[in-house]
Amino acid sequence: MNEIGTTARKRLKCRRIMAENVSTATRSSTVQAAAEILRDEDIGILPIIDEDGGLVGVLTDRDIVIRAVAGGMDITDTKVGDIMTEELFTARPDDFVFEVLRTMGEKQVRRIPIVDEEGILKGIISMADIALEMEDEREVAETLEEISSGAAFWNKN
C-alpha cells in the first residue's frame, strides 16, 4: 500500500462508513419483538433508544439467550429494558475509524453505535464495515480473530 493510501485510511471518519438507517427498539418493547427484528434484519445488535432518539442501551442476541432464555423469562412479556446492555461504547460521526477499531479491540465488541453530541443515535459501525474499507486483508483477519478470541488486541509484542 502506498503512503497516500495509508494516510487517507487513517483519516477516514465514521460518517463515511457507518450504516445510517438502523433498526431500533425501546425499553418497553418486548424481547420477542426485538428478537424478531434481529432475525428479520439478520443483525446481531439492536440499539435501544428513548422517545427522543437518545441511545440508552443495546440488545444483542447474546443478551436474549443469556439473560432472558437461560434465565427462564417469558420473552413475550419481558421488556427489553430488563435485559439490555447499558454499558455503551460509542463514537461520534466525525471520529476517526481507527479510533473505533481501537475501541473494538480494547472492549471486545464487534459493533459501535454512532451518536451525536446529545447522544442521539446516528448510525452504527461494524467490523464488517471497517473490513470493507481496509486494504490489508491480513490486518483485517488478525483484528477479527483477536476481537473474537478475547486476546489483548492492543498489547501485542
Domain ranges of the chain: 11-150
At residue 16, the pLDDT reads 94
What pLDDT is recorded for position 146? Answer: 63
Bridge partners (DSSP) listed for residue 30? 79
Q: Where do we find the cell 479491540?
A: 105
Contact 24, 47 (CB under 8 A): yes
Q: What pTM does this model have?
A: 0.80
* List of the chain residues with pLDDT < 50: 1-4, 152-157
Q: Helix (H, G, I), strand (E, B), or coil: what is residue 29?
A: coil
pLDDT for 154 equals 46
Which CB contacts under 8 angstroms, 24+ apart, belong to 34-40? 34/59, 34/64, 34/80, 35/61, 35/64, 35/75, 38/64
pLDDT at res. 23: 97
Q: What is the pLDDT of residue 133?
A: 77
Contact assessment for residue 53 and residue 46, using Cβ atoms and an 8 Å cutoff: no
11-150 is classed in which CATH architecture?
A: Roll (3.10)
Say if CB 71 and CB 82 are below 8 A apart.
no
